[in-house]
Every structure is written in structure tokens, then in C-alpha cells.
């Protein structure tokens, strides 16, 4: 399984903070995004946003990043702390 | 509360004391002649709107890891003595302290550069998000291109 | 004690409180989100020698005038809220605070730049001189070319 | 009269913190330096130091600066505060 977490505006838009997916057929972040976007129109729209950031196991990554079972993947908007 | 892995990094809901933090940076530290601090506070206005409060969300675990990487990079690039980063989360009000970065060094140039570097990278890499409450309602702040550009200059 | 012409500038023999100074910079100042402080302290070593104390001499009247010009220039170059400069004179010991520069601004970039600019110019234009007491005796410090070069870069 | 003041190492070398001179025949800082240097070998040596800084009425100046009666002129080594 892959644990997927969402933060901030993204979490509110999806009304979801965390979910788990089977890692079967998911090789990269891009695959995972496509899988999530296929859920419905709202998810499709949210994952069409190219500004979205991704992290795997607490490190920022790009869409080509490989993922595997046991990973924690996060999606979130550009950060605005400080 | 998040479990903090390094004494140099603290993510907390509670306020902090600038004086206490600087006292710790200076305690039994007679070799560092320069101490630079940055304090970020909640402003009463943002892009023309009256702000009543800010709510800060973060990604526990990744926050500490990303800050640790930023501090590690700063220590490689400059000759630093001690470093401390505190970032508050939760709801904060006008004038409240949000973030503290304190750096000591033998020489001022390293302390200034490292402090600004840490803030610039915190702004674009550490997973914090601000939601603003204004008279017009609540909204998540947009990231600024200027922050991206500023970090890219280092 | 010197009569100080501006509340932003203080030349004094007595110590100062970082916390009190920052509290004044922040008091009823909800529009400035960024506060940068620099504190310079007496180090225990300088160029390989063990220092026991420093004695600071200055040129009363010119000191205040030169600092006022530096602050005025900083305010023209950056968008600043409040500014404070304190410089101590007389005999100071290891770990003692020598100088404080505090700057507030709406945005952090202006606060960082202005604070470092003020320190860089203070170092080469304000008429202060340090006499070092070491185990090898007393000596006036030499000015550093690196300080001249750093100020020239602004 | 012109009031002349000395600071730091310079004050100690000359063993003098302040003196007054008639402004007659003194048009510039360079004239005043030459006049002071003519006092004796020690003063000659001290004023031969090209790193020496000068101020007139609390403003840093160079040797071409004009001076006149009533001015306060200061000589001192490069500053080392902060």
C-alpha cells in the first residue's frame, strides 16, 4: 500500500486529508496523480494544477520520482510559511 | 505537538521569547562575536486587506526534515556557531510572533548571510501554509514568485 | 554621557537589553512583519590572541552625526519601519554586548539588507576605536581592508 | 582660531588630545597637516601616515578640504568600532 496525504487548500478542495492505495500498477508519482485524477471531475481538476508539489517520505520530488509499497506520498500547494 | 528531532528546530503552537532564545545562543559562547536574529510577525494588512488572524498548518515530519536540510546546507556554506529555528503553527493574531531564526558566528557577514538564506529557503521549501482571516472571509495565501526568485539567487 | 540628538541613536557606557529594544521596535507597530537584529559582542580571541577586555573610544558629536547619516541613507534605500542603533563605549569584557542594530520593515528583504548596510557603514565611517587588552599587553586594533571592501559593495 | 582634536592611537602617539591654532595661512587640511608635521620629528612621522583620516565639523573630509576660523578639525586612525 501507498499512504497518500493532502495539505492546506488541497486538503480542503478534496475534503480528504489521507487515503491509502494499492501500489500495484503505480510506478511513479505521475502514475499516482493520474490514478487520483481519474476519480471524478473535482479530482481531475485539482490534479491538473501544475503548481502542485509532491513529496515522498518527506522529501520534495518531481513527477518522475519512483514510488513503492510503504511510501508516504504527499501532495500540497506551494508553501507559504515564514 | 510534534516530536522535534533536533534541538535547533522547534515547531510549536506556543509563543517564544526572543530574549531567552538569544540567551541560549550566547550562553558559554565567547567565541562568537556576531548574533543575527530574524523575527517574523503577523501584520495587520496583507495586499490591501485588513487581517484579523492567520492559521498556520504544516506537514509534521517533513517540516523538521526540510528545516534540518536547510540548516545543514547553511552550516556547510558559512562558518556558523549556533543556530535556532522556531516556527509556530495554529491560529495567530496581529503582532504575534510567527517565526524566529537566530544565528551566531565569529563574524557578522556569515551570520547575516546564513540567517537570510535560512529564511529564504524556509519560505519556499518548508511545508507550512497560511490561511488568512480577513473581514472578507478566509483564504489560503498564494505563494509569491518573488520568494521563489529570492531563494534561487543563493 | 553624550547628549543624543536622535531617539534612534544611543552612545552609552551602560549595557542594553535586546528584549527591551525589540519590544520598543514592535510596540504599536502592527504593519511591520519583519524584525532583524544584529548584536556585536566582545570575543575571547582575536587574531590568535586571548583578549581580556576591550576599551572603546569615540568622537562625541561626530559619532552621532555619522550614524544619523548612515540611518538616513538606509531609509532612502530601503522601505523601513523603525530603526535603532546602540553603541557602547568604555571598557567592555568577554561576552559583553558592544553594538545593537535593530530594524523593522513590512518585508524581510529590506530589513536584512538595511541592517547589514548599517553595520557595514558603521564599521568604516563611525568614529569608534577599539583598544584590546591581551595577555601580551594593550594595543589599538587595526582597521580591516575586508571591512572597507564590504562597505564599498553596497 | 582652529580647534584641532586627536583620537585613539594618534592621541596617544602625540600625547595630545586637543590644541588650538591661528587660522592665518591655513587654507586647507593639507596646510594644517604640514603645519602640525613641522613641530618636531615625532609629529612629522605621525602626519606622514597616509592612512590618517580627517574630519571638519564632524564630517569626514579629504586633504583638499578648505578650513576657516571657528572650524573643529579632527585627525584619527581608521575607525574600528562595531
Look up the CATH number of the domain holding residue D72.
3.10.20.30
Domains and CATH numbers, chain C: 4-152 (3.90.1170.40)
B-proximal residues of C, 89-108, CB under 8 Å: 94-95, 106, 108
Residues of D in contact with C9 (CB under 8 A): none
User: Is the pair D, C in contact (3+ CB pairs within 8 Å)?
Assistant: yes
Angstrom distance (rounded) from CA A21 to CA A68: 11
pLDDT above 80 for C68: yes
Contacts of C among chains (3+ CB pairs under 8 A): B, D
Rounded distance between C-alpha atoms, residue C16 and residue C87, angstroms: 9
Q: What is the pTM for the complete model shown?
A: 0.95
Q: What is the ipTM of this complex?
A: 0.94
Backbone angles phi, psi at B146, to 5 degrees: -60, -35
Q: DSSP string spanning chain B?
A: -PPPS-TTEEEESS---HHHHHHHHHTT-TT--EEEEEEEE--SEETTEEEEEEEEEE-TTHHHHHHHHHHHHHHHHS--S-EEEEEE-EEEETT-EEEEEEEEESSHHHHHHHHHHHHHHHHHHS-EEEEEEETTEEEEPPPPHHHHHHHHT-
Kindly report the number of other CB atoms within 10 A of residue B119's CB atom: 24
From C39, C40, C36, C38, select the one nearest C103 (Cα to Cα). Answer: C36
D81 touches chain C (CB under 8 A): yes
* Residue-level pLDDT at B117: 98
Chains C and B touch, using 3 or more CB pairs below 8 Å: yes
D: neighbours with 3+ CB pairs under 8 Å? C
What cell does A73 get?
506520498
3-state secondary structure of C37: strand
Q: Which positions in chain D touch C66 (Cβ < 8 Å)?
A: 58, 60
Residues belonging to chain A: 82
Q: Mean of the pLDDT values across residues D3-31?
A: 96
Res B2: pLDDT: 46
Question: What number is the average pLDDT over the span C50-67?
Answer: 97
The single residue listed with the C-alpha cell 508553501 is A79
Of residues C154 and B2, more confidence is placed in C154
Q: Which member of C32, C35, C43 has the closest CB to residue B106?
A: C43
Which are the contacts of A61, defined by CB distance < 8 A and separation ≥ 6? A29, A54, A55
Residue pLDDT, tens place only, B115-154: 999 999 999 999 999 999 998 899 999 999 999 999 999 9
The reported pLDDT for the residue numbered C48 is: 86
Domain membership of residue A82 (yes or no) is: no
Segments of D1-82 assigned E as strands: 2-6, 18-21, 53-56, 59-61, 72-76
CA A52 to chain centre: 9
Q: Best of C16, C24, C30 to disrupt the B interface by mutation (most B CBs within 10 Å)?
A: C30
Q: What is the pLDDT of residues B80-95, one digit of tens each?
A: 999 999 999 999 999 9
Which one of C29, C31, C112 would you mutate to disrupt binding with B, by most B Cβ within 10 Å of its Cβ? C112
Query: Is A81 a member of any domain?
Result: no
Q: What is the pLDDT of residue C2?
A: 46
pLDDT the model gives residue B47: 84
Question: What are B86's three cell numbers?
Answer: 522556531
Looking at the 3D structure of chain A, how many domains does it have? Answer: 1
C-beta atoms of A81 and B62 within 8 A: no
Among B129, B137, B144, the residue to mutate for chain A (most A Cβ within 10 A): B129
Q: Is B115 on the interface with C (CB under 8 A)?
A: yes
Task: Return the DSSP state at D77.
Answer: P
Residue D24 domain flag? yes
pLDDT, tens only, C93-150? 999 999 999 999 999 999 999 999 999 999 999 999 999 999 889 999 999 999 999 9
Of B66, B99, B140, the CB nearest to A82: B99
Residue A20 lies in a domain: yes
| C-alpha cell recorded at residue C103 | 530594524
Please state, in angstroms and rounded to a whole number, the distance separating the CA atoms of residues B17 and D37: 56
Burial of residue B32 (number of CB atoms within 10 Å: 0-12, 13-18, 19+)? buried
What pLDDT score does B81 carry?
98
Q: Tell which residue, D57, D81, D62, D63, has the closest CA to residue D8.
A: D81
User: Could you say which of C26, C36, C95 has the minimum Cβ distance to residue B38?
Assistant: C36
Q: Please report whether residue A64 resides in a domain.
A: yes
User: How does DSSP classify residue C10?
Assistant: E
CB contact under 8 Å between C98 and D60, yes or no, is no
Burial (Cβ within 10 Å: 0-12, 13-18, ≥19) of residue C55 = middle
| Gap between the Cα atoms of B5 and B61, Å rounded | 9
Q: Tell me what percent of the residues of chain B surpass a pLDDT of 70.
A: 97
**Chain D environment of C119 (Cβ under 8 Å):** 82
C-alpha distance from A35 to closest chain B C-alpha (Å): 23
Name the pLDDT band for B1 (thresholds 50, 70, 90): very low
Mutate to test the interface with C, among B15, B33, B42 (most CBs of C within 10 A): B33
In a domain, A24, yes or no: yes
User: Per this entry, what is the length of chain D?
Assistant: 82
Q: Which domain holds residue D21?
A: 2-76
Amino acid at each position: 500500500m501507498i499512504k497518500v496525504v493532502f495539505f492546506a487548500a488541497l486538503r480542503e478542495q478534496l475534503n480528504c486529508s489521507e487515503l491509502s492505495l494499492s501500489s500495484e500498477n503505480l510506478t511513479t508519482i505521475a502514475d499516482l496523480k493520474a490514478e487520483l485524477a481519474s476519480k471524478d471531475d473535482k479530482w481531475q481538476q485539482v490534479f491538473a494544477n501544475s503548481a502542485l508539489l509532491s513529496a515522498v517520505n518527506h522529501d520534495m520530488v518531481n513527477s518522475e520520482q519512483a514510488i513503492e509499497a510503504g511510501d508516504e506520498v504527499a501532495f500540497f500547494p506551494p508553501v507559504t510559511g515564514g | 505537538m510534534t516530536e522535534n528531532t533536533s534541538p535547533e528546530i522547534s515547531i510549536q503552537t506556543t509563543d517564544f521569547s526572543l530574549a531567552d532564545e538569544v540567551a541560549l545562543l550566547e550562553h558559554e559562547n565567547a567565541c562568537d562575536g556576531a548574533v543575527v536574529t530574524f523575527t517574523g510577525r503577523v501584520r495587520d494588512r496583507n495586499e490591501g486587506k485588513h487581517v484579523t488572524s492567520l492559521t498556520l498548518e504544516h506537514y509534521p515530519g517533513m517540516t523538521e526534515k526540510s528545516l534540518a536540510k536547510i540548516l545543514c546546507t547553511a552550516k556547510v556554506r558559512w562558518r556558523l556557531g549556533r543556530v535556532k529555528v522556531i516556527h509556530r503553527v495554529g491560529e495567530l493574531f496581529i503582532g504575534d510572533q510567527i517565526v524566529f531564526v537566530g544565528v551566531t558566528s565569529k563574524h557578522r557577514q556569515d551570520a547575516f548571510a546564513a540567517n537570510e538564506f535560512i529564511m529564504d529557503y524556509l519560505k519556499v521549501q518548508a511545508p507550512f501554509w497560511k490561511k488568512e482571516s480577513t473581514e472578507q472571509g478566509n483564504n489560503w495565501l498564494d505563494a509569491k514568485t518573488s520568494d521563489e526568485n529570492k531563494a534561487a539567487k543563493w
